[in-house]
Structure 1
């Protein structure tokens, strides 16, 4: 029954921390992230990472991105595709150059430096999505650009990672054409299913004489898209986001959104926020403090100005460009997955793994307050409800 205690503790801790964070003028998500560190192994040790936490957290981030898809203005997303592409590319080039320079300067080998540079190119907007929702900016031009850029970033970085693992790692050779083909197939299938199958599927399932048939159908779509994305080598959160967009184009959008938010924000999303903090430990980091500080600064500034430059070159003003760059800073769970792949393949030295995790956490923690600082004042009433 220990997992029942974990659930109760997580729900109480995240709601209290989120409320306190809002009272202090910060997005609620910042408090939820920090409380995960406090009640985790780094400080109090009340909750330890386990399979239960991992599974609930995975569902939480999928639902978070599914809701983001439901709330996304598809027309706005289409209009900003050029900006999204420019932001993604700018947010890859600068972090890669900065990461390689830092790693080389600290004496890592060429292959290790290349991997660390690629690691800094990753973007996970799940935390940015929550912060943008609290700031009522998710459906803004800037918010749509951030979401579009995250999709492009995911595809490019995963392809580059596969190339690097194939050429430099200890894993077996990977067919690059097949890899790119799988990603192209993912988008073709998802677009086709979204246009022709999802509307029909939702209409049919809504007619079933069972409890919450429509909501069940929406979750089936969300999890199926996410599973298919993972099988095609695309992040599951991109699949969940695509499922949300697909359902947002049907007449069931508002009903699904109204019912999925209580499920997500009551149980699964709080576990996801806490799970990020559970990966933190401060054991043996004293000797790598300089590495962590330098790499964190490079990770934050390179994404901020790289993504911001892409936005500026495509017509955004200085403030909006900085906001978009800030929304791309968080590396989150995507970078954690990449770092684990690097450790397994031998491209990320074991003695640097914990320090890299710390850098990923720092980029994740600074994103909400950066967005709060740059965007207009948050809608406090909505934030308190989260």
Structure 2
């Protein structure tokens, strides 16, 4: 029964850490990750990775990605599609190229060098949203472009991650694994299923379960869709997170969006998601920290500049002023939970070497903490006349 005490300790400490994080203005997920480091083998040694925590963390990341899909505003994306696509595309390509080159320079294997780029191609704009709201810029041209680009960026990152893990990851590979061509066909069929889910299946099931005299029937079928799509994605060799993400997008297009969000969020944030972020901290160690300090510094600089320049260039090419493009680029810098998810999946798939795993997590944390400072400085450069409602 010791695992029950461990879970109780995780939930208690992450709640306290979350409150402290909010008070000092850093993301709650960073506080939860630090709890994992503090309680895990890297510090106190009170908690260690185990089967139960791994299962809880796996469910946590699936629910987290489901909620990310739920919060993806496709209407906003349609309105600002061209600048959002440009910003996201350049903001994905530049980090992937630069981190691949640096990975090769650091004598990583081809697939691990590419995966460094995959990790830092991700963006999480939840922090940027708070900064934009604070300055009254959330509904401006810059704010809407950042939000739209975040949707495209998430879709790109999840697709790249899934295809890359299916090709190079060796978590579930066996001698009897299907050939690459068979896997590609299965994955193509899966994406057809995703389209059908968004277009017809999800709305039909939601309408059907709305008429059942069962409490919480709609949130339950939404979870079934989420877990089912995650399971099917895993069967085809894709990452489970892609199934959960597109399941969230499908539910977001129905009238039940608000009800599902209101019921699933507490399940995720009260239990499974804290376990996921703590589990990342439990995997960390600092045996090679000082030996790899130059790696951390260079990767942090690359993490900041590649998104800033890539996103800013994408905006500038679509007619934004230099100051507005700077705001958009700064708004895309934060990696947050999306990069943490990708790093954890890559670590489990042996695409991220254990000797640099902790350092990569540190860089993600540093870029997430520095991002709002960069965005605030960029917004202060904007003249009031550029503000658009």
Common fold by TM > 0.5: yes
* 1:98 corresponds to 2:80: no
Question: Could you say which residue in structure 2 is the equivalent of 1:4?
Answer: 4
TM-score normalised by L of structure 2: 0.79
**1:237 Cα deviation (Å)?**
2.1
Matches within 5 A, 1:66-81: 66-81=66-81
Matches within 5 A, 1:136-215: 140-159=144-163, 177-215=181-219
**1:145 Cα deviation (Å)?**
1.4
Q: Which of 118, 124, 136 in structure 2 is aligned with 1:128?
A: 124
Summarize deviations over 1:39-96 as a string: whole Å, max 9, x none: 1111111211111111111211222222222222221233455455544543454334
Relative distance call for 1:194 and 1:96 in structure 2 (3 A) is closer
**1:186 Cα deviation (Å)?**
2.6
Cα distance in structure 2, aligned partners of 1:328 and 1:29: 8
Question: Could you say which residue in structure 1 is the equivalent of 2:386?
Answer: none
Summarize deviations over 1:69-126 as a string: whole Å, max 9, x none: 22222212334554555445434543344334434444x2xxx442332011214899
Matches within 5 A, 1:237-276: 237-276=241-280
- RMSD value, Cα: 3.5
Residue-pair matches, total: 363
Summarize deviations over 1:104-151 as a string: whole Å, max 9, x none: 444x2xxx4423320112148998265467666799441331232122
Relative distance call for 1:4 and 1:161 in structure 2 (3 A) is closer
Relative distance call for 1:236 and 1:86 in structure 2 (3 A) is farther
Question: Could you say which residue in structure 1 is the equivalent of 2:370?
Answer: 370
Q: Which of 322, 343, 354 in structure 1 is aligned with 2:330?
A: 322
Relative distance call for 1:196 and 1:165 in structure 2 (3 A) is closer
TM-score normalised by L of structure 1: 0.80
Question: Could you say which residue in structure 2 is the equivalent of 1:119?
Answer: 115
Contact 2:95 2:117 in 1 (8 A): yes
Question: Could you say which residue in structure 1 is the equivalent of 2:59?
Answer: 59
Contact 1:94 1:306 in 2 (8 A): yes
Question: Could you say which residue in structure 2 is the equivalent of 1:380?
Answer: none
Cα distance in structure 2, aligned partners of 1:365 and 1:259: 29
Cα distance in structure 2, aligned partners of 1:80 and 1:148: 11
**1:373 Cα deviation (Å)?**
2.7
Contact 1:61 1:126 in 2 (8 A): no
Question: Could you say which residue in structure 2 is the equivalent of 1:383?
Answer: none
Q: Which moved more, 1:329-338 or 1:245-254?
A: 329-338
